[in-house]
Amino acid sequence: MIDAGSLVKAWRIRRGVSQAQLAELAGTGQAAISRIESGRDLPTLALLGRIASALDCRLTIDFTSDPDRPGQRPL
């Protein structure tokens, strides 16, 4: 599983924007982007939505069964 911070960093680099530019576009501080990308902080869904929008991406949340967990039943 890939963490949110790694995805934010990958998309930021792909879009060619700095942490400071992304922070301004997402309405947060550069330090917050740094903490998210490094895995030291977990962003709220609201902030992830703003980051996704700033990077021209769509935020999708998907709950699925984990085949590695025995005895798990689908809802």
Write out the residue range of the structural domain in which residue 22 sits. Answer: 4-54
Tell me, yes or no, whether 67 lies in a domain: no
Minimal CA–CA distance to 37: which of 59, 4, 1? 4
What CATH number did the domain enclosing 8 receive?
1.10.260.40
Share of the chain above pLDDT 90, in %: 76
Tell me, yes or no, whether 50 lies in a domain: yes
More confident residue, 11 or 66: 11
Give 75's Cβ-side CA count (13 Å radius): 4
Lookup: tokens for 24: 């301004």
Tell me, yes or no, whether 66 lies in a domain: no
The structural domain count of the chain equals 1
Chain segment 38-51, per-residue pLDDT in tens: 999 999 999 999 99
Predicted TM-score (pTM) of this structure: 0.81
